[in-house]
């Protein structure tokens, strides 16, 4: 582990130094001679401060696994991200300038500077405003096996709230409350990651969630962050107490937690089943899901809706079956960055997984991946706003 850390530090220092060198060379190519020394020293001091802060917060001694308050780390992550996206275009255009004539160099460096400013502004916007944006996506799905009394049944899906990353802001959850009142869903399904790690993140949120659930049928599952696996605990007892508090608070917030369990919903003589499994994911994400246990007692031909936090569960297991009509997941956040314009939907998550966001279908089985409400790692959302999903079930009438 020690050798891995040293290698990681070395790679980071080399890459960051290269970016800083290229950025400095570009900037020096467009400023006046009188300001060159001043710009050089500002960039040197700034870059050293970034490196020192990185070592203190992520190597030793104030690592994210040794703290129960992420505020400083989150703020630093934004600063580091802005620093990186500012320097990358400058460095790229510096490399282009190396192979260009002296007459063109200043123009090339200026183009890099303009692009750097534009990208940096988008990151700053995502961190300050984008993380509080909310989109409501309406999806209608038809099923031949949907019971008649559930034709028009309205599901509101929430996911990935990550309360610890809101930095004491309740803006987006207030928007969720207003939209929920407008939608008036038949059921609310929350597909995991209520917190980052700690039960302390739940403090002060009771009324907010109770206004959203508001005596509505509301069910939840656990996500990978709800187990407290991303910190160094003083003892296993502390970890268990933290986990138990997160579990018990689900009911305080108005959710019935489904941990490898199911619940039967009835409407007249008809019924459907909501199934909830614990987290299933590729390593290092924990795998606690027990699908067969969760489906215990459900008739084979019943209409089933599965909540499973990580969509890889659907990819690896669920879509190979023919007995679950709809799976609801989250986890990906759409990478908190994307392109949703003119009918084009894209995220860097695409390079890590096929089912990163939106609706997918395999035979008669559907998956919907919600982009979540909160953030993780870097507290921004750039053209990938928080999402509420309204899924309306329709009975497919066959002549």
Rounded distance between C-alpha atoms, residue 113 and residue 22, angstroms: 12
pLDDT given at position 282: 77
Rounded distance between C-alpha atoms, residue 173 and residue 150, angstroms: 29
The two three-digit tokens of residue 295, written as one number:
């489906």
pLDDT given at position 398: 65
The two three-digit tokens of residue 285, written as one number:
């994400």
Rounded distance between C-alpha atoms, residue 5 and residue 293, angstroms: 40
Q: Which of 233, 258, 254 is nearest to 243 (CA)?
A: 233
The two three-digit tokens of residue 68, written as one number:
């129960």
pLDDT given at position 338: 85
Say which residues have a Cβ less than 8 Å from residue 1's Cβ, sequence separation at least 6. Answer: none
Q: What is the phi/psi pair of residue 284, to 5°? A: -85, 5
pLDDT given at position 141: 97
Report the top-level CATH class of 134-395: alpha beta
pLDDT given at position 71: 86
pLDDT given at position 69: 78
The two three-digit tokens of residue 157, written as one number:
């899906």
Per-residue confidence of the chain (399 residues) as pLDDT tens digits? 455 567 777 888 899 999 999 999 999 999 999 999 999 999 999 999 999 999 899 888 888 888 877 889 999 999 999 999 999 999 999 999 998 888 889 999 999 999 999 999 999 999 999 999 999 999 999 999 999 999 999 999 999 999 998 877 899 999 999 999 999 999 999 999 999 999 999 999 999 999 999 989 999 999 999 999 989 999 999 999 999 999 999 999 999 999 999 999 999 999 999 999 999 987 777 789 999 999 999 999 999 999 999 999 999 999 998 899 999 999 999 999 987 654 557 777 777 788 899 999 998 899 999 999 999 988 999 999 999 999 999 998 765
Q: Which of 200, 28, 175, 143 is nearest to 97 (CA)?
A: 28
**E strands, 277-342, in order:** 304-307, 326-329, 338-341
Going from the C-alpha of 290 to that of each of 29, 201, 255, 330, the distances in angstroms are 61, 28, 20, 18
pLDDT given at position 341: 58
> Are the beta carbons of 222 and 278 closer than 8 angstroms?
yes
Going from the C-alpha of 121 to that of each of 90, 112, 124, 248, 382, the distances in angstroms are 15, 14, 5, 41, 11
pLDDT given at position 1: 44
Q: Which of 397, 374, 385, 396 is nearest to 163 (CA)?
A: 374
Q: Which of 110, 85, 140 is nearest to 29 (CA)?
A: 110
Helix (H, G, I), strand (E, B) or coil at 159: coil
Q: Is the dihedral of CA 198, 284, 336, 379 positive or negative?
A: positive
Say which residues have a Cβ less than 8 Å from residue 272's Cβ, sequence separation at least 6. Answer: 146, 147, 150, 153, 264, 265, 302, 303, 304, 305
Rounded distance between C-alpha atoms, residue 194 and residue 172, angstroms: 14
Domain ranges of the chain: 2-128, 134-395
Q: Which of 181, 294, 203, 308 is nearest to 252 (CA)?
A: 203
Rounded distance between C-alpha atoms, residue 218 and residue 214, angstroms: 9
Q: Which of 207, 222, 211, 158 is nearest to 187 (CA)?
A: 158
pLDDT given at position 59: 81
Rounded distance between C-alpha atoms, residue 22 and residue 95, angstroms: 8
The two three-digit tokens of residue 59, written as one number:
């190597």
Going from the C-alpha of 26 to that of each of 16, 103, 115, the distances in angstroms are 15, 14, 12
């Amino acid at each position: 582990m020690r050798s891995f850390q040293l290698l990681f530090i070395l790679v980071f220092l080399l890459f960051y130094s290269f970016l800083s060198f290229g950025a400095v060379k570009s900037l020096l190519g467009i400023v006046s001679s009188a300001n060159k020394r001043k710009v050089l020293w500002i960039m040197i001091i700034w870059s050293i401060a970034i490196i020192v802060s990185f070592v203190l917060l992520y190597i030793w001694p104030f690592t994210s696994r040794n703290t129960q308050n992420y505020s400083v780390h989150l703020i630093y992550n934004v600063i580091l991200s802005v620093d990186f996206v500012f320097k990358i275009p400058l460095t790229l255009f510096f490399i282009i300038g190396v192979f260009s004539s002296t007459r063109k160099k200043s123009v090339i460096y200026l183009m890099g500077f303009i692009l750097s400013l534009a990208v940096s502004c988008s990151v700053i916007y995502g961190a300050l405003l984008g993380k509080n944006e909310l989109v409501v996506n309406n999806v209608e799905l038809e099923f031949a096996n949907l019971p008649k009394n559930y034709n028009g049944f309205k599901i509101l899906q929430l996911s990935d709230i990550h309360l610890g990353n809101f930095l004491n802001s309740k803006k987006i959850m207030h928007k969720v409350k207003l939209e929920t009142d407008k939608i008036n869903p038949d059921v609310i399904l929350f597909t995991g990651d209520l917190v980052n790690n700690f039960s302390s993140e739940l403090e002060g949120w009771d009324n907010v969630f109770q206004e959203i659930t508001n005596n509505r049928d509301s069910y939840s599952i656990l996500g990978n962050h709800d187990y407290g696996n991303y910190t160094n605990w003083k003892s296993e007892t502390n970890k268990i107490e933290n986990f138990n508090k997160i579990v018990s608070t689900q009911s305080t917030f108005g959710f019935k937690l489904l941990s490898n369990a199911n619940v039967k919903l009835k409407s007249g003589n008809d019924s459907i089943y909501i199934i909830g499994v614990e987290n299933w994911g590729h390593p290092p994400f924990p795998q606690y899901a027990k699908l067969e246990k969760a489906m215990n007692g459900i008739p084979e031909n019943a209409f089933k809706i599965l909540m499973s936090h990580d969509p890889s569960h659907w990819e690896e297991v669920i879509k190979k079956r023919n007995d679950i009509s709809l799976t609801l997941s989250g986890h990906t956040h759409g990478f908190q960055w994307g392109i949703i314009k003119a009918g084009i939907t894209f995220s860097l998550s695409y390079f890590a997984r096929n089912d990163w966001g939106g609706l997918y279908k395999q035979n008669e089985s559907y998956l919907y991946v919600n982009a979540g409400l909160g953030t993780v790692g870097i507290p921004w959302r750039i053209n990938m706003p928080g999402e509420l999903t309204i899924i309306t079930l329709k009975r497919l009438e066959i002549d």
